[in-house]
């Protein structure tokens, strides 16, 4: 993703935002791409009962937007919010789209970014059907342990499809099973 990162550095504007800053509201069309230089953000949706469920988390070096909205020009179903204070590079959609038309490498990298997001959502959907919450938590722990520590437990619980109390039980049982047994 070298061309995309170079484009952010060349054409993007720097922006510092506080934690819990909404960058995109559901119902709006995503007009920007964000490169997280420091901090983390999440995409989430709100169901009919008003419960938030995160669909993906983003950390340093990652590009975030509601890509579906950004690419189609349709309103987003998702909210984009920072979880920590963030240092961002912001690229306006019109700028990146114009550059991509003239740069096949950049165009290919944007397509790769879209494919990565599609694969993530397919894996998330499959895991939600096939795996238990404990299995999903263990998989996240195996691949993203340090990042998990930065996600508030109630947000992580909703991502896993369980209550915060249930996630606490899962974590306690896993911790207890890892402790050496006294004779």
Which residue is it, tokens 């909703």?
Answer: 158
For residue 182, name the pLDDT band (cuts at 50, 70, 90). Answer: low
Strands 63-64 and 79-82: unpaired
The answer to whether 37 touches 9, Cβ cutoff 8 Å, is no
Mean pLDDT of the chain: 93
pLDDT digit string, tens, across residues 125-143: 999 899 999 999 999 999 8
pLDDT digit string, tens, across residues 30-85: 999 999 999 999 999 999 999 999 999 999 999 999 999 999 999 999 999 999 99
DSSP state, residue 80: E
């Amino acid at each position: 993703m070298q061309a995309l990162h170079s484009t952010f550095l060349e054409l993007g504007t720097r922006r510092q935002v506080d934690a819990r800053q909404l960058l995109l509201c559901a119902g709006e069309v995503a007009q920007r791409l964000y490169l997280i230089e420091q901090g983390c953000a999440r995409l989430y949706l709100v169901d009919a009962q008003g419960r938030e469920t995160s669909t993906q988390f983003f950390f340093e070096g990652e590009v975030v937007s509601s890509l579906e909205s950004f690419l189609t020009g349709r309103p987003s179903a998702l909210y984009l919010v920072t979880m920590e204070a963030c240092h961002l590079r912001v690229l306006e959609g019109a700028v990146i789209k114009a550059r991509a038309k003239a740069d096949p490498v950049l165009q290919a990298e944007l397509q790769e970014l879209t494919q990565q997001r599609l694969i993530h959502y397919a894996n998330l959907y499959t895991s939600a059907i096939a795996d238990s919450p404990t299995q999903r938590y263990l998989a996240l722990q195996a691949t993203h342990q340090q990042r998990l520590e930065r996600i508030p437990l109630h947000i992580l619980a909703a991502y896993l499809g369980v209550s915060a109390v249930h996630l606490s039980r899962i974590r306690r049982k896993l911790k207890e099973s890892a402790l050496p047994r006294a004779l």
